[in-house]
Structure 1
Amino acid sequence: MSENVLITDIFTKFQHSLDSDQETREVIRTICKEIDQISREAVTYLQIIHHKEEGIAQACQKTRGLFEKAREGYMKLKEAVPPTDYFKYHDHWRWVTQRYSFLISLVIWLEVGVLASHETVADILGISAVEEKEGFHLDIEDYLIGLLQLCSELSRLAVNAVTRGDYNRPLQISRFVMELNAGFRLLNLKNDHLRKRFDALKYDVKKIEEVVYDLSIRGMLPKTQEDKPEDEKSNEAA
């Protein structure tokens, strides 16, 4: 009889633990649903980059406003997730965080043409950039997958920029993506999701190269300062 009581007590504690875990997951799901909806709005705003140059600055500004709302959501996540259980619940916000890494990187590239660092993305989301065993942070893999998504979006932009007569943008994209590609090749990636996603980068690079090559053979590439004749450079300097 006493053994049965002991077993009952043990399983009662298990049920309490399961109930608590389920409650935490429900809170996390609700918050993630909110920040996911905000990210979808941001994606909608930024679709203008594929249609016209005018309005890109305004779209970036509106998107930054959405990042502020997302930051509030991540603050709620930090409070809801026990410091020791980050990886236990990580799958709930993994995909949306990858999307935010992509969106933030895209906005910064559109604004100033540079790579958004891991620390910058984490700071905009209001979370730590330090990889820790405990505590809420921006996982490096989520950040890197966001950059790979950025490359795919830029390869699409390279094509659409040409259709609207912008021949400078593909060159800018080509230089940036080539540098990113070189950076990724420095990583010793294992055979997992990140590796598979990286393997798709070669198709983005190929698409961009084809756009630049097509512009080149048609004589439509804008001349850089280095390409200009010496006398032309001298006249500009004068």
Structure 2
Amino acid sequence: MSLNHHITKIFCEFQKSIDNEQEIRESLPRPQQLRNKTVIRSICKEVDQISREATTTLQVIHHDEAEIPAACLKARELFEKANAGYVRLREAVPVTDYYKYQDHWRFMTQRYCFLISLTIWLEKGILASHETVAAILGINAVENKEGFHLDIEEYLVGLLQLCTELSRLAVNAVTRGDYNKPLQISKFVMELNAGFRLLNLKNDHLRKRFDALKYDVKKIEEVVYDLSIRGLSNKSQDGDSPVQD
């Protein structure tokens, strides 16, 4: 088979896919498409606002240790509201159009992955699994070709955001006189860092976020090193391995 014939065959297959997608897109009347987009935007706006409230609620972790349990409880209540929103979103998005509308909820979902993972770490000191995060949001964890689901890349970006937040918490914990928290954070983030290094990341956005992880690791290492040379580190480290919830 000649090279030109091979290329022609490949691009003919591409054209078939394009034609199929176009047929699906045109199967809905134009007003229906516009109505779907308007509904999706409206739902995403409501759910995104809840995520902002949860973000504000959890900021207490940086200045008041005693308020953390109450903040986690409040965050859980907000996640339940977000769950209801995601159920509506799932119903509004046609099963074949997940990737068509994904940009409407991509960054919002990444934030929820971060917030849920942070809450579970604060409560239990463990890593929230992909399945757990999806269950809390009320969506499917399995990435099918069709249907609404929690994209694994959105979950991973949320974990990278978690590492950034924990590096900040390591610094603020020392300011509060909590010298054991940075050790717990260090163990957790180091193990997550090792896990990410096993991945062959091709997504540009995810790759850039992973490249920034080294700065979070460096910040945490500096905090732990400073505690060590000052003799402030607790030898009995309580940081458990990031076992999944």
Q: Does 1:220 align with 2:226?
A: no
Aligned with residue 164 of structure 1, among 176, 191, 208: 176
Q: Count residues with an aligned counterpart.
A: 214
Q: Does 1:151 align with 2:179?
A: no
Q: Does 1:46 align with 2:58?
A: yes
Question: Aligned Cα RMSD in Å?
Answer: 1.7
Task: Compute the TM-score of the two structures, normalised by the length of structure 2.
Answer: 0.85
Match of 1:55 in 2: 67
Give deviations 1:82-125, integer Å, cap 9, x for gaps: 00100000000000000000000000000000000000000000
Aligned with residue 88 of structure 1, among 73, 87, 100: 100
Q: Structure 1 unaligned segments of length 5 or more: list them.
A: 1-12, 227-238
Q: Once the 2 structures are TM-superposed, how far is the Cα of residue 38 of structure 1 from its aligned partner? A: 0.3
Bigger RCO of structures 1 and 2 (CA < 8 A, at least 6 apart): 2
Aligned with residue 36 of structure 1, among 42, 45, 48: 48
- For residues 209 and 168 of structure 2, the distance between their equivalents in structure 1, rounded to whole angstroms, comes to 17
Match of 1:202 in 2: 214
- For residues 137 and 115 of structure 1, the distance between their equivalents in structure 2, rounded to whole angstroms, comes to 20
Match of 2:33 in 1: 21
Give deviations 1:15-38, integer Å, cap 9, x for gaps: x74332221111000000000000
Q: If you compute each CA radius of gyration, which structure gives the higher value, 1 or 2?
A: 1
1:40 alignment partner AA = R
Q: Does 1:103 align with 2:115?
A: yes
- For residues 202 and 82 of structure 2, the distance between their equivalents in structure 1, rounded to whole angstroms, comes to 31
- For residues 214 and 17 of structure 1, the distance between their equivalents in structure 2, rounded to whole angstroms, comes to 64
Q: Structure 2 unaligned segments of length 5 or more: list them.
A: 1-24, 239-245
Find the residue that maps to 2:66 and give its secondary structure.
coil
- For residues 54 and 224 of structure 2, the distance between their equivalents in structure 1, rounded to whole angstroms, comes to 29
Give deviations 1:168-226, integer Å, cap 9, x for gaps: 10000000000000000000011510001100000000000000000001110012279
Q: Does 1:130 align with 2:142?
A: yes
| Identity, % of aligned positions | 75
